[in-house]
Structure 1
Amino acid sequence: MQKVWTGDVVVPVTSGLTVGLVVKDYQDLSGNTGADDSSHSMPINPNLGDHASG
């Protein structure tokens, strides 16, 4: 059984294809607090759309 975290992410404007990812302030179901983890990055998959203005 795979566990999947879901949540919101706010990313600053960047020209790169990845951004640093820091996971912090989380607890498991037993109430154990996890340590901050910044050893990963998150790929950016841009979505481009054609929106009519006006």
Structure 2
Amino acid sequence: MWENKKRVENKIFFSTIHIGINEEKSTKKRKIIKKKKCVFQMMDKNTNKN
């Protein structure tokens, strides 16, 4: 991406969280996940942390 004639680089963090097990479809050896939630965050790569 370009902003004010300077190149801006972004970092993207993406993670998934599994919540619970589906009791109806799972077996003893094979567990099936009930729900999955996703979270992502975009940060400017050029900024410095103090």
The verdict on a shared fold, with TM-score over 0.5 as the criterion, is no
TM-score, L = length of structure 2: 0.25
Q: Which has the higher contact order (CA 8 A, sep 6+)?
A: 2
Structure ranking higher in strand proportion: 2
TM-score, L = length of structure 1: 0.24
